[in-house]
């Protein structure tokens, strides 16, 4: 089974393709940070479509493999002390990007299943870097941690040339790409018949 995952962002949307044992492709659709608001949304919609199409082409080159499941992180409004969403506009802005990624992903052969999990559904309560670390360890990728506070810490692959597409990434891209890889792994487990996925069990 092959999964394609997208981690939407206004300026760096990550795309990853994985099977049960390998990371097959990673990429980032970029919009300059100087572009803001609706113009950034429009620009990212234009960038994410070909990025997802390219991911499909990588999988389908041999004429045999197809993407079976597409997972795109659905946005979540947080409430409560310490985790409340402060900028609702930034969450709303990701809606068209998610839509473009889904449309591009479904515009391919094979009839993949679309999944739109919210962060708590696929990450559980674990901090970002813990979820990322579990996935990268599963795929045998060496990594280090970037950032001090748990809320902002992420995993960066230290030998990006070992990952197809990794040599084209910037260090900061791994904040999003590691999420996409982890989301791929969650999707593969969740889509497996008869095995509902517990996010806390992704270390296994």
Domain spans, the chain: 3-201
In this predicted structure, what is the pLDDT of residue 126? 87
- The structure tokens listed for 204 are 């296994």
Residue 38 CA to residue 66 CA, distance in Å, equals 34
pTM for the complete prediction? 0.88
Residues 6+ apart with CB under 8 A from 17: 2, 3, 4, 5, 23, 24, 25, 26, 55, 58, 59, 67, 184
pLDDT of res. 87: 58
- Residue 187: the pLDDT is 96
* Distance, CA of 58 to CA of 25 (rounded, Å): 7
> From 3.40.50.1980, 1.10.260.40, 3.30.420.10, 3.40.50.300, which CATH number describes the 3-201 domain?
3.30.420.10
**10-residue mean pLDDT series, the chain (204 residues):** 95 96 96 94 95 91 82 76 58 87 83 89 90 97 90 92 95 96 96 51 43
Other beta carbons within 10 angstroms of residue 131's beta carbon come to 27
- What is the predicted pLDDT for the residue at 12? 96
Alpha-carbon span 189 to 58, nearest angstrom: 22
pLDDT for res 132: 96
| pLDDT score, position 120 | 86
Write the DSSP symbol of residue 104: H
Model confidence pLDDT, tens digit, residues 14-39: 999 999 999 999 999 999 999 999 99
Query: How does pLDDT run across 86-110, given as a tens digit for each residue?
Result: 555 777 888 899 999 999 988 776 7
Task: Quote the pLDDT of residue 78.
Answer: 59
Question: Which pLDDT value is given to residue 193?
Answer: 55
């Amino acid at each position: 089974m092959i999964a394609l995952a997208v981690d939407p962002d206004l300026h760096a949307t990550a795309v990853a393709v994985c099977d049960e044992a390998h990371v097959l492709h990673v990429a980032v659709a970029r919009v300059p940070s100087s572009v803001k608001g609706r113009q950034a949304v429009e620009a990212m919609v234009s960038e994410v479509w070909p990025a997802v199409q390219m991911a499909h082409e990588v999988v389908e080159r041999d004429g045999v493999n197809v993407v079976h499941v597409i997972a795109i992180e659905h946005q979540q409004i947080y409430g409560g002390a310490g985790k409340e969403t402060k900028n609702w506009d930034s969450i709303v802005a990701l809606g068209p990007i998610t839509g473009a990624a889904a449309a591009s992903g479904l515009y391919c052969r094979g009839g993949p299943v679309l999944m739109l999990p919210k962060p708590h559904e696929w990450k559980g309560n674990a901090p970002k870097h813990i979820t990322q670390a579990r996935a990268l360890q599963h795929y045998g990728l060496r990594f280090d941690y970037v950032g001090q506070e748990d809320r902002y810490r992420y995993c960066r692959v230290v030998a990006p040339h070992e990952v197809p597409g990794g040599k084209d990434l910037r260090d900061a891209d791994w904040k999003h790409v590691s999420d996409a890889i982890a989301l791929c792994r969650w999707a593969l487990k969740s889509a497996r018949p008869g095995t509902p996925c517990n996010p806390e069990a992704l270390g296994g």
